[in-house]
Amino acid sequence: MITKQDQKSNSAHVLTAFILSLLAVVGSPAIAASANIAGPTNIWNLAVAFLVFAATAGSAVLNIAAIRNWDRNWGLISGLPLLCLLLLAALILATKQLDATAHELWALEIFAWAMINLIYMVTAMTAKRMFAKRDGEGPIAR
């Protein structure tokens, strides 16, 4: 029997695999072009890519947890940023295939999504708690 914790763990693994495959596809022209550059530059590029995708995965896992634990409407609200990430990734991949010099700051674009998503989710969690608190108060007895 698969527990809820196993499902969450599997979702995180699927998301991580998706992000790493995105990194491989988007980063491959950049990695191929930088093959002539000395080793330390490649190490910094990999370090930046790792940090960007760690932040993105952490931010996206927050959305996945909210989708699983919140009721239907709030779950849909928490899923909107994942749709935006999917569209952003598709846009970056499509334009990179058409022009190798396009989206040279793709890591910054994805990192910006992660940070904006964190702000969005904190706002959504705060609003959800405020509405839950307001709904729980009921009429004032005199």
pLDDT tens for 78-136 read 999 999 999 998 998 999 898 888 888 888 889 999 999 999 999 999 999 998 888 87
Q: Which two tokens stand for residue 48?
A: 């930046």
Contact between 88 and 36 under an 8 Å Cβ cutoff? The reply is no
Question: By percentage, how much of the chain surpasses pLDDT 90?
Answer: 28
Which residue reads 């909107």 in tokens? 80
- Residue-wise over 84-116: b if at least 16 C-beta within 10 A, else e? ebeebbeebeeebeeeeeebeebbeebbebbee
- What single DSSP character describes residue 34? G
Which residue reads 């896992």 in tokens? 61
Tell which wins on pLDDT, 86 or 18.
86
- Residue-wise over 6-21: b if at least 16 C-beta within 10 A, else e? eeeeebbeebbeebee
Q: What is the pTM of this model?
A: 0.65
